[in-house]
Amino acid sequence: MLKRIINWANQNEGFIALVGVILMLGGLLLPGLVRVSLSSVAPTLVSFIQQYKEIVVWIGIFLLVFAFALVAMNHRKRLRKIEEKIQVLENLPETLLDETASANLSSWSFGIDQWTSDQDGLSVTKSRFGGICKIGATWENYEFIFEFKIMHQCAGWIVRAKSDNQYVMIQCNDKQVRPHTLTVSQMPDGKWRRGFGVIKEVDHNLALKEWNKARTEVKGHSIKVWINETLVWSDSELLKDFSMGTVGFRCSHDEHALFRYIKVVRA
């Protein structure tokens, strides 16, 4: 019974405080009103209210203090629960984006570009500026891991995307890996324009399979890219202007690729 009362009180701090205010104000104001209006009609009632007004006021004050104490204790409990959840999250496997969530189109922001999802994975084409994950704007050090199949020309993937205006994009075709950066710059006419810059063209002799595995590590200012477990490119300073950001994919115009088994793991 006591446990039920405590549970009810914890869930109704506002109601208890309201009753306390009513009793306190009633104890202070009601006797004067009754004395003026009923002193000649009901002197016994007036005397009764006068006699117990202090008790009513103190009950009201007690309920107010009790309600505030409940609020404080419940606030501490909520903080403790949040701290416990944070501790649990810190001890979980360091997966930021798992394969199940990444296979869902609702996890990505890609405007009106042609993205679809089926049993073959994410299909990306006609995606001029690409699409990025809806979470992860503050991610810093991580590995972006997935499998890709080039359907036409090349596959492109994005890391450290602060927004769809600023990121690093790695493009891979049968002969080259071509890292790009996307930035926004102000033109002489005062307008802002976003554009890609090719950082490097890295030739490779990989025998790309139907499905290939890509792993991209971003850590501090450095970036490393492996394809089918072969390190194909790295740069120790490229990311100094791309300190944090999420992941994504980009296949512009007629470029077309499929992506599957997508996940992000903290590095």
Shared domain check, 128 and 23 = no
Shared domain check, 217 and 132 = yes
Last residue of a domain, one of 70, 91, 112: 91
Domain count, the chain: 2
**pLDDT attached to residue 38:** 44
Shared domain check, 74 and 14 = yes
Could you tell me which residues are beta bridge partners of residue 181? Answer: 168, 197
Shared domain check, 132 and 64 = no
**pLDDT attached to residue 127:** 96
Distances (CA, A) of 205 to 166, 173, 213, 216: 30, 11, 15, 19
| Residue among 34, 102, 56, 42 nearest 263 (CA) | 102
Residue 155 burial class via C-beta count within 10 angstroms: exposed 0-12, middle 13-18, buried 19 and up? buried
Shared domain check, 47 and 11 = yes
| Residue among 201, 202, 223, 226 nearest 212 (CA) | 226
Shared domain check, 157 and 77 = no
Percent of the chain with pLDDT over 70: 75
d(CA 20, CA 40): 30
d(CA 248, CA 121): 14
Percent of the chain with pLDDT over 90: 55
Shared domain check, 200 and 140 = yes
Shared domain check, 239 and 113 = yes
> Is the separation of the CB atoms in 221 and 210 below 8 Å?
no
**pLDDT attached to residue 3:** 61
Of 47-56, 110-119, 155-164, 165-174, give the lowest mean pLDDT range. 47-56
Shared domain check, 99 and 27 = no
Last residue of a domain, one of 91, 116, 136: 91
pLDDT per position as a tens digit, 199-249? 999 999 999 999 999 999 999 999 999 999 999 999 999 999 999 999 999
pLDDT per position as a tens digit, 141-200? 999 999 999 999 999 999 999 999 999 999 999 999 999 999 988 778 778 888 999 999
Shared domain check, 41 and 140 = no
> Is the separation of the CB atoms in 121 and 260 below 8 Å?
yes
* DSSP of 189-219: TS-EEEEEEE---EE------SSEEEEEEEE
Last residue of a domain, one of 42, 57, 91: 91
Could you tell me which residues are beta bridge partners of residue 171? Answer: 156, 178
* Reported pTM: 0.66
Give the structural domain span for 57: 2-91
Shared domain check, 49 and 130 = no
d(CA 264, CA 108): 14
Shared domain check, 255 and 192 = yes
**CATH number (domain holding residue 257):** 2.60.120.560
